[in-house]
Structure 1
Amino acid sequence: MFNGDFNGARLREARRFNKKTISEIADMLNVSKQMVSKYENGKAAPAFDSVFTIIKELGFPREFYYAKDEYSMGSEGTFFRSRYTSTQKEKVPAEYSKKYVAIIRDYLNNFLDFPELEWSLTGEDYSPEEYAKFIRNEWNLGEKPIIDIMNLLEEHGFVVSNVKNSSDKVDAFSSRVEINESSYFIIMIEGENFSFYRQQFSLAHELGHWLMHQGMYNPQELDRDTYRIMEDEANSFAAAFLLPQSTFSKTVSANPRQIDFYLSLKKIWNVSISMMIMRARNLDIISTDDYIKLQRQLNYRGWRKEEPLDNIKRISEPIALKQAVQILVENNIIEGYEIPREISGRYGIALPSGMIEELTNVEQGYLKYTQPEIISLKDIKIKKDKLDGGFYGKA
């Protein structure tokens, strides 16, 4: 039934993706921790009944554990918005999800032409404010509000995906990933419990990392202070990009000390009230005392946890990968159920169809095989006779 040798590294990957410890796997298989370590290090192979348990409990198909990588991969380290409040155990599934998205995108590139990301725009010696002006000029955005930054990023070649890893400490993360010498900048939005306006800022933050920091450092090797500086720079860029100085200053200056005025501006600029207040302070439109008073009003009204409009405007969903999969399937280029099989054959990694559906944002079950309904001529004749009888019966 199983071809080839058991790949212990894949057991480790599936275990860590599921946030399981070696002890938990040992209890699940009724073996010692030392034996699980042997499985993962290729010094022993689990019995068939144990393999079946692994498949059932960890969610990866059997082929996943009996194949090896047929692709080369490189990554420059991941920018996590909550690096110091999230544990390594929480980050690992995110890292694997990022890799899987890059593989899926690379596979889809065999069929479709996606927008090309302009890597030459990165690495300039600009401040966050200058970089915000620079990229707006490059993308011909002027100083108008950003209606939907997710759509904007996908149009310019970024790979965006939602992932539900059940972590409340990681908002978004991103990094450059190279698969078979093709480079992708992957941005992952994690979870569902955030607003459209928070999503706008998170994506702008990751855009800032791409422009200012990618290729310069491995984020996970930086000390706390240096990493904090990079996070602050990305935050400053996001604010300047979403709220360009000249136009925003003109709109907010009409009534910058009234919190209800910011609510009306929220509908225009598509960012949170708290962010606009912070931007107004940084641009010296309001004083420190004004800023403190507005912050107190945010607390008094309970707008720290949820602002008005947050539960009305729906978050944006990434569509590039979804549309690519749908184009292939709906135009009969490939059957949906063949996509996981194709990825497994080309890259040596068998991903669950449900995982591919989630990462590409297609509906659940879209990539599963459906047994075609077989209708016999006898069935057709019976149906016709019933229809004829009904028609003449009315006459």
Structure 2
Amino acid sequence: MRSGVQGFLGAKLAEARQARGITSRKALADLMQRAASTVIRWEEGETSPEPAALAELSAVLAVPEDYFLTEREGQAGPAFFRSFAGALRGERLVQQIRIVWLEDVAAVAEHYAFLPEVSVPDLLGARSFKTLRDDDIEALAGELREQWGLGLRPIPDMVVLLENNGVVVGSEPMETTQLDGLSRWGRDGRPYVLLASDKQSFARRQFDAAHELAHLVLHRAVSEVEFEENFRLIEDQAHRFASAFLLPASQFGVEIDSITMWELERLKLRWRVSIKAQIMRLQRLNIIDRGLSTRLYKAYSAKGYQSGGEPYDDVWLLQQPSTLADVFKALIDAGQVTKETLCLDLPLFPHDVESLANLPSGWLTMETARVVSLKPEARPRRSEDREQTSKVFQFPNRRDGK
């Protein structure tokens, strides 16, 4: 029988360590001033830490003590990354764990409230993603638009659209330029998307959200091994789907009056898609050839859009997810639970929950305002006295000079 805290899960220790960007067991051991072999035995499940060591792990890794004692059930799908090739393994690993934590937080929200029903179809069914042609992807994007009742009109907010169809969306800094977002199907059968908030704009987030949606509807049956082996193909499919979903060919194509930068700026205002993504879409629809697209990209850079941002990027507010924050705020406002009780229910410390659920920083630890009940139709206490004792004084008419 192992000594130490019963029920300690070495896999959860490894997860918390990696989530904090501590890449090696030795590095964690050094932080705790312990032998590396001790941490190795904990993670391998050979021994368990004593209560004092468990408290130290909680403090160093900033997770509750019972985090290490709580096992997850079920099997989740692989995490699909918006930018996989250039990202370091450690960066990807951190975000893989963050999206798992997003699911943990959502489980608490769903315990208290009904989350939006999942309405994200598996568009491929038993068909392999490897058989998809460009025309198939165009057709599938149109099929999803039809299922969701979007018609051919622009999509004003992709984040709201995802949340309304049962996707749990999180947004937080990923502290790297190599990752834009990731998605996966959770153990609970619900889809999850985590978007980077670093150096983001409204139009870029629109495309990133549509890109992750593509993974959810096209690549649900893809294994992690298949994803790594076919990364370029899978990412290209997601990119093409996002473009077709945001800019349906039969409508966007006929709205082009002239192939000019000014025209693309006008269409950005209508379709909420970046100028750069529009140029790529026009080329793929064979509305423009490679030579014209090259000239447009040069004009794009000459206007400073590549480095300084496009029109409206500094005006449009970044779309923010709200489902989880709305649930937790509603719970507190209704008096169903206190913040203190809610924090005990949550699997992480407040700062992580606030970040993942898009709650204001410090909200979970901020004291809730006391509710005061007012008496109905109460009149001012001294109103009657004032009515009885007040006098009216006549002042001279200054216009008469008297």
User: Which category of TM-score, normalised to the shorter sequence, fits these structures?
Assistant: 0.7 to 0.9
Quote the Cα distance in structure 2 between the aligned partners of 1:3 and 1:265. 61
Residues 272, 120 of structure 1: CA spacing in aligned structure 2 closer, same or farther, 3 A cutoff? closer
Q: Secondary structure at the match of 1:186?
A: strand
Indicate which of 198, 202, 205 corresponds to 2:204. 198
Correspondence 1:84 to 2:85: yes
With normalisation by structure 2, the TM-score equals 0.82
Paired letter, 1:133: G
Residues 137, 27 of structure 1: CA spacing in aligned structure 2 closer, same or farther, 3 A cutoff? same
Correspondence 1:37 to 2:40: yes
Residue 269 of structure 2 corresponds to 267
Q: Secondary structure at the match of 2:185?
A: strand
Matches of residues 97-116 of structure 1 in structure 2 within 5 Å? 97-116=98-117
Indicate which of 333, 337, 342 corresponds to 1:339. 342
1:312 to partner: Cα distance:
2.0
Correspondence 1:365 to 2:368: no
1:368 to partner: Cα distance:
2.1
Is this contact kept in 1: 2:175–2:198, CA < 8 A?
no
Matches of residues 66-85 of structure 1 in structure 2 within 5 Å? 67-69=69-71, 71-85=72-86
Residue 142 of structure 2 corresponds to 133
Residues 237, 108 of structure 1: CA spacing in aligned structure 2 closer, same or farther, 3 A cutoff? same
Paired letter, 1:218: S
Residue 387 of structure 2 corresponds to none
Quote the Cα distance in structure 2 between the aligned partners of 1:372 and 1:295. 54
**Bigger mean CA offset, 106-115 vs 233-242:** 106-115
Structure 2's unaligned 5+ residue stretches are 371-402
Is this contact kept in 2: 1:116–1:156, CA < 8 A?
yes
1:221 to partner: Cα distance:
3.9
Quote the Cα distance in structure 1 between the aligned partners of 2:225 and 2:169. 21
Correspondence 1:210 to 2:216: yes
Residue 277 of structure 1 corresponds to 279
Is this contact kept in 1: 2:211–2:241, CA < 8 A?
yes
Indicate which of 224, 245, 249 corresponds to 2:253. 249
Larger Cα Rg: Structure 1 or Structure 2?
2
1:139 to partner: Cα distance:
1.2
Is this contact kept in 2: 1:162–1:191, CA < 8 A?
yes
Paired letter, 2:310: E
Is this contact kept in 1: 2:249–2:285, CA < 8 A?
yes
Quote the Cα distance in structure 2 between the aligned partners of 1:266 and 1:371. 42
Q: What is the identity percentage for the equivalent residue pairs of Structure 1 and Structure 2?
A: 25
Residues 372, 150 of structure 1: CA spacing in aligned structure 2 closer, same or farther, 3 A cutoff? closer
Quote the Cα distance in structure 1 between the aligned partners of 2:31 and 2:182. 32
Q: Secondary structure at the match of 1:31?
A: coil
Residues 48, 111 of structure 1: CA spacing in aligned structure 2 closer, same or farther, 3 A cutoff? closer
1:121 to partner: Cα distance:
4.7
Structure 1's unaligned 5+ residue stretches are 344-349, 374-395
Show CA shifts across 1:352-372 (max 9, x none): 122112111111222227499
Q: Secondary structure at the match of 1:367?
A: helix
Residue 185 of structure 2 corresponds to 176
Residues 54, 3 of structure 1: CA spacing in aligned structure 2 closer, same or farther, 3 A cutoff? closer
Indicate which of 280, 283, 299 corresponds to 1:297. 299
Quote the Cα distance in structure 1 between the aligned partners of 2:253 and 2:10. 58
Residue 379 of structure 1 corresponds to none
Paired letter, 2:209: L
Residues 371, 335 of structure 1: CA spacing in aligned structure 2 closer, same or farther, 3 A cutoff? closer
Is this contact kept in 2: 1:132–1:240, CA < 8 A?
yes
Correspondence 1:234 to 2:238: yes
Indicate which of 309, 324, 328 corresponds to 2:327. 324
Paired letter, 1:322: A
1:301 to partner: Cα distance:
2.3
Quote the Cα distance in structure 2 between the aligned partners of 1:371 and 1:281. 55
Residues 22, 274 of structure 1: CA spacing in aligned structure 2 closer, same or farther, 3 A cutoff? same
Show CA shifts across 1:274-315 (max 9, x none): 111111111122222111111111222222232222222111
- Coordinate RMSD, CA, aligned: 2.3
Aligned length: 357
1:234 to partner: Cα distance:
0.8
1:136 to partner: Cα distance:
1.0
Quote the Cα distance in structure 1 between the aligned partners of 2:66 and 2:228. 40
Quote the Cα distance in structure 1 between the aligned partners of 2:9 and 2:236. 42
1:45 to partner: Cα distance:
4.5
Residues 369, 147 of structure 1: CA spacing in aligned structure 2 closer, same or farther, 3 A cutoff? closer
With normalisation by structure 1, the TM-score equals 0.84
Residues 24, 245 of structure 1: CA spacing in aligned structure 2 closer, same or farther, 3 A cutoff? same
Q: Secondary structure at the match of 2:186?
A: strand
Quote the Cα distance in structure 2 between the aligned partners of 1:129 and 1:72. 37
Correspondence 1:351 to 2:355: no
Residue 382 of structure 2 corresponds to none
1:81 to partner: Cα distance:
1.4
**Bigger mean CA offset, 111-120 vs 91-100:** 111-120
Residues 147, 222 of structure 1: CA spacing in aligned structure 2 closer, same or farther, 3 A cutoff? closer
1:52 to partner: Cα distance:
4.7
Paired letter, 1:243: L
Q: Secondary structure at the match of 1:110?
A: helix
Quote the Cα distance in structure 2 between the aligned partners of 1:115 and 1:51. 37
Q: Which runs of 4+ in 1 moved over 6 A?
A: none
